[in-house]
């Protein structure tokens, strides 16, 4: 049992300091994942909190993998549901989901490099953005991503390859060489 799983067990048994430690350790991480999927910092903050509520109510049968990956999967699924809900609500002529106001970006990312990367990742198609977010921000393994998205592992690898290729091309067009 890792320290995180032990901390969760203590938290589930009423230890408030254990809950606080888990929240402080993972909340910002979950907000980033949700932001990349929804494009909304406000929704991402709500999803970060909701992920902990889901964790509290979850009936965890195994402790394979990391708690971080487990939480990232919860946040990812919540974010996809939120994105789908928002897509259903907005009309064809409404503004896009991505909130490009300077205050939203300033809250989500602090320096110019991060802003360029966020815009580059947001420009990807949904499937590529999802696998990239789960892999590099959620720190999920290929197998975990395949299970989460219900696709073959080869599809996950292919989407990651093409997402990285598209990001490199986009950055190159902006004059940024990696």
Q: Please report, for the chain, the start and end positions of each structural domain, with discontinuous segments joined by +.
A: 3-173
In whole angstroms, what is the distance from residue 175 CA to residue 12 CA?
50
Burial of 80 (0-12, 13-18, 19+ CB in 10 A): middle
Q: Model confidence over 64-90: pLDDT tens digits?
A: 788 888 899 899 999 988 888 877 665
Answer for the pair 43, 34: CB distance below 8 angstroms, yes or no. yes
Rounded to an integer, what distance in angstroms lies between the CA atom of residue 118 and that of residue 63?
A: 32
Give residue 60's pLDDT: 81
Average pLDDT of the residues of the chain: 82
Assigned token pair, 76: 């990812």
Higher-confidence residue of 103 and 131: namely: 131
Q: Is the dihedral of CA 23, 26, 31, 37 positive or negative?
A: negative
Tell me: pLDDT of 63 over 60: yes
pLDDT of 95 higher than 60:
no
pLDDT at 155: 94
Inform me whether the pLDDT recorded for 146 exceeds 80: yes
């Amino acid at each position: 049992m890792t320290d995180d799983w032990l901390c969760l067990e203590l938290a589930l048994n009423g230890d408030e300091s254990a809950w606080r430690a888990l929240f402080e350790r993972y909340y910002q991480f979950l907000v980033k994942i949700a932001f990349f999927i929804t494009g909304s910092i406000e929704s991402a903050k709500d999803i970060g909190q909701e992920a902990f509520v889901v964790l509290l109510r979850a009936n965890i049968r195994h402790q394979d993998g990391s708690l971080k990956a487990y939480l990232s999967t919860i946040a990812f699924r919540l974010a996809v549901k939120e994105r789908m809900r928002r897509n259903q609500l907005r009309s064809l002529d409404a503004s896009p989901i991505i909130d490009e106001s300077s205050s939203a970006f300033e809250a989500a990312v602090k320096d110019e490099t991060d802003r360029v990367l966020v815009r580059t990742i947001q420009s990807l198609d949904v499937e590529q953005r999802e696998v990239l977010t789960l892999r590099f921000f959620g720190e999920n393994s290929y197998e975990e991503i395949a299970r989460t998205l219900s696709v073959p592992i080869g599809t996950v690898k292919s989407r990651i390859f093409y997402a990285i290729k598209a990001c490199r091309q986009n950055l190159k067009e902006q004059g940024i060489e990696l």
